[in-house]
């Protein structure tokens, strides 16, 4: 543009700058006000969310109650014939809902872990003391075994679905759950709580006469405070991922026809057994050592992974006998084989081969 036009335009622009600055300031102040308001609304929303979460359990409980009232069919023991979903019943002082239609309701008693029944009421346990001496176990009791001589006595006539929990907080390895004529986890012997901090939940099955372990239920989590002698533990506080041993790394221990095993949380696994054989030592290797026929040591009680474990073998039953390696090395599933050897020929006798394997289970 020419100079005269430019001068007029520039003068108009600079004349309008002061009110334009005021407008920008007003917009900034408005933006600040809106931001403060938004922040306050966010805080209010957070408070509302916390309040909603706090009310969730009450809402769920109310919903359970409404569901039960709408479909209640009575005491399970009084029913017979077909029963179809939706339906709720009471049994052993608890409220249950039917998950699948039943052609004959008398064939399936309500119980935790049932395919056909689920519990409507909240899964509460009352925390109770189990000091020195004998304590009689009650349904839904979580017993804190606080003494080396604590004995939790299971009832002689438990009902189907009865649940009892226990935790070893004694600092010793000797508290005992007494089976009182039944079996515990299939064994006809008392259950020794021989792991510090060990916890177990048992449910009675009247068909097998066995107190079975309920997996996935634990009494304590790292986030919970110490539990006193009077408290309530609910299933909403369950430690996920199976049995929690409060820092003790053993996650599984058992035995079968192939031996015993222990699994640790870090992946370590031990397997062991004692194999009894009757054999002679008469084969010569030409080097002054004689050996037995090859001894097949069999399968591990639990598979190792990802590679074969280290194996240690010792033998007893004859002075001077020792183990030499066989033609079949250990794998992830079996011990392999070995020879019982000696510096002199021996007639057939019993030998006891102690086997220990160490490796990983994952």
CA-derived radius of gyration, the chain: 35
pLDDT in tens, 291-345: 999 999 999 999 998 899 999 999 988 778 899 988 899 999 999 999 999 888 8
pLDDT tens per residue across span 99-145: 889 999 999 988 766 788 877 654 556 778 899 999 999 887 888 88
- Comparing CA positions, the residue from 249, 181, 175, 177 lying closest to residue 213 is 177
Segment 350-357 shows an average pLDDT of 93
241 against 44, higher pLDDT: 44
Count the alpha carbons within 13 Å of 357 in the hemisphere toward its beta carbon: 33
Higher pLDDT, 264 or 283: 283
| Torsion angles phi and psi, residue 136, rounded to 5 | -80, 130
147: nearest Cα among 128, 127, 175: 175
pTM of model > 0.85: no
Residue environment code for 320-345, b if the CB has 16+ CB neighbours within 10 A, otherwise e: ebebeebeeebeeebbbbbbbbbeee
Whether a cis peptide bond, with omega within 30° of 0, leads into 306 is yes
What is the structure's pLDDT at 311?
93
At 337 the pLDDT is 94
CA pair distance 322, 116, nearest whole angstrom: 58
pLDDT band at 49 (very low <50, low <70, confident <90, very high): low
pLDDT at 253: 74
What is residue 261's three-state secondary structure? strand
Average pLDDT, the chain: 77
Q: What is the largest CA-CA distance in the chain?
A: 130
Contact 279, 292 (CB under 8 A): yes
Mean pLDDT of 13-34: 68
111 against 188, higher pLDDT: 188
Closest CA to 109 of 61, 75, 137: 75
Q: Residue 227's pLDDT band (boundaries 50, 70, 90)?
A: very low
Mean pLDDT of 33-43: 69
CA dist., res. 142 & res. 128, Å (int): 6
Per-residue pLDDT of 60-77, as tens digits, reads 555 555 555 557 888 888
Regarding predicted confidence, which is higher, 234 or 162? 162
- Residue 75 phi/psi, 5° resolution? -70, 130
| Distance, CA of 318 to CA of 323 (rounded, Å) | 12
In contact, 88 and 73? CB cutoff 8 Å: yes
pLDDT at 262 over 90: no
Listed range (67-76, 262-271, 350-359) with the worst mean pLDDT: 67-76
CA atoms 242, 248, 252, 253: torsion sign? negative
| Most confident of the following: 44-48, 76-80, 198-202 | 76-80
Give 223's pLDDT tier (boundaries 50, 70, 90): very low
């Amino acid at each position: 543009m020419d100079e005269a036009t430019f001068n007029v335009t520039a003068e108009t622009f600079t004349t309008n700058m002061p009110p334009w600055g005021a407008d920008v300031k007003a917009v900034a102040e408005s933006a600040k006000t809106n931001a403060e308001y938004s922040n306050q609304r966010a805080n209010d929303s957070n408070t509302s969310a916390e309040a909603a979460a706090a009310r969730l359990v009450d809402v769920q409980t109310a919903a359970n109650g409404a569901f039960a009232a709408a479909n209640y069919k009575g005491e399970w023991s009084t029913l017979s014939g077909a029963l179809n979903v939706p339906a709720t019943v009471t049994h052993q002082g608890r409220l249950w809902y039917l998950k699948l239609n039943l052609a004959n309701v008398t064939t399936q008693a309500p119980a935790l872990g049932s395919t056909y029944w689920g519990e409507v009421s909240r899964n509460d346990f009352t925390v109770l003391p189990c000091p020195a001496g004998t304590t009689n176990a009650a349904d839904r009791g979580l017993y804190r075994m606080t003494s080396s001589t604590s004995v939790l006595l299971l009832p002689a006539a438990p009902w189907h679905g009865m649940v009892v929990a226990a935790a070893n907080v004694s600092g010793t390895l000797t508290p005992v759950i007494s089976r009182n004529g039944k079996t515990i986890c299939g064994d006809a012997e008392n259950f020794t709580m021989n792991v510090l901090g060990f916890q177990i939940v048992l449910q009675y099955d009247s068909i097998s006469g066995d107190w079975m372990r309920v997996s996935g239920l634990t009494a304590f989590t790292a986030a919970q405070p110490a539990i006193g002698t009077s408290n309530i533990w609910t299933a909403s506080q369950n430690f996920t991922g199976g049995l929690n041993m409060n820092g003790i790394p053993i996650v599984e221990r058992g035995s079968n026809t192939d031996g015993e095993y222990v699994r640790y949380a870090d992946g370590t696994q031990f397997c062991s057994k004692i194999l009894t054989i009757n054999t002679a030592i008469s084969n010569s290797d030409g080097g002054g050592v004689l050996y037995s026929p090859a001894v097949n040591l069999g399968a591990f009680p639990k598979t190792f992974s990802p590679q074969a474990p280290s194996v240690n073998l010792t033998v007893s039953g004859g002075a001077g006998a020792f183990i030499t390696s066989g033609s079949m090395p250990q794998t992830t599933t079996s011990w392999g084989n070995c020879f019982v050897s000696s510096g002199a020929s021996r007639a057939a006798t019993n030998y006891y081969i102690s086997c220990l394997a160490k490796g990983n289970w994952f």
